């Protein structure tokens, strides 16, 4: 596999689909968290869970694409930046699994079923336990804010490369930027 000047179409689709889902799930989770119990809150919780399950279902094909399609060759950058980028990407993939899993585990422990798209009931992963449910709720929040921070770092690095370094980092995931230059 020879590296391409930009990421493959499946890699770009996986990246932007996951980004869209995560950008929808996070603010929805924050918004619904403090709502009083109501039909609206229950519907929003369902949507939030559906998005989480979708992220979990899509992360495996995304990993497959990442591992089987040649990525563009690394652009010249200081070694520390390449190391930070590598660690950040590994952590992002790990969190794309850990965040929805922690939500599913939390729902199971709190005794709330996860029913994907309102029609596919998923099994409880743990037994009902208030203490475990509370722990998992805290873990879910912590993992989400960690993911938010890493996504922020990822976006900031892409913007820095585009605006200040003026290299092709961002245009490799958005080829239209390369054509616009």
CATH code, domain carrying 176? 1.20.950
Q: Is pLDDT above 60 for 4?
A: no
| Residue 41 placed within a domain | yes
> Which pLDDT score is estimated for 179?
61
Residue 63 lies in a domain: yes
70 part of a folded domain: yes
Query: How sure is the predictor about 75, in pLDDT bands with cuts at 50, 70 and 90?
Result: confident
Residue for token digits 């399950």? 53
Residue 114 lies in a domain: yes
In a domain, 95, yes or no: yes
Q: With 0-12 CB in 10 A as exposed, 13-18 as middle and 19+ as buried, what is 105?
A: buried
What pLDDT, in 10s, does the model give residues 137-166?
A: 999 999 999 999 999 999 999 999 889 988
Report if residue 89 sits inside a domain. Answer: yes
Q: What is the DSSP string of 61-109?
A: HHHHHHHHSPPPPPPS--HHHHHHHHHHHHHHHHHHHHHHHHHHHHHHH
- pLDDT tens for 7-54 read 888 888 889 999 999 999 999 999 999 999 999 999 999 999 999 999
Query: Is there a domain that residue 1 lies in?
Result: no
Total domains present in the chain: 1
Contacts of 6 (CB under 8 A, 6+ apart): 12, 72, 168, 171, 172, 173, 175, 178
Q: What is the three-class DSSP state of 114?
A: strand
For 170, the domain range is 9-180
Task: Confirm whether 3 is domain-assigned.
Answer: no
């Amino acid at each position: 596999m020879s590296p391409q000047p930009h990421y493959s179409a499946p890699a770009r689709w996986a990246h932007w689909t996951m980004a869209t889902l995560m950008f929808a799930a996070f603010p929805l989770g924050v918004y619904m968290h403090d709502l009083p119990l109501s039909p609206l809150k229950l519907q929003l919780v369902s949507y939030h869970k559906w998005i989480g399950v979708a992220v979990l279902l899509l992360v495996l094909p995304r990993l497959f694409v990442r591992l089987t399609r040649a990525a563009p060759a690394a652009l010249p950058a200081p070694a520390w930046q390449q190391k930070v980028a590598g660690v950040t990407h590994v952590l992002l993939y790990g969190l794309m699994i850990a965040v929805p899993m922690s939500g599913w585990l939390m729902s199971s422990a709190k005794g709330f079923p996860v029913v994907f798209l309102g029609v596919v009931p998923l099994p409880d992963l743990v037994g009902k336990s208030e203490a475990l449910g509370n722990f998992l709720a805290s873990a879910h929040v912590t993992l989400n804010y960690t993911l938010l921070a890493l996504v922020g770092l990822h976006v900031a690095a892409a913007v820095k490369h585009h605006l200040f370094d003026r290299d092709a980092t961002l245009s490799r995931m958005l080829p239209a930027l390369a054509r616009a230059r």
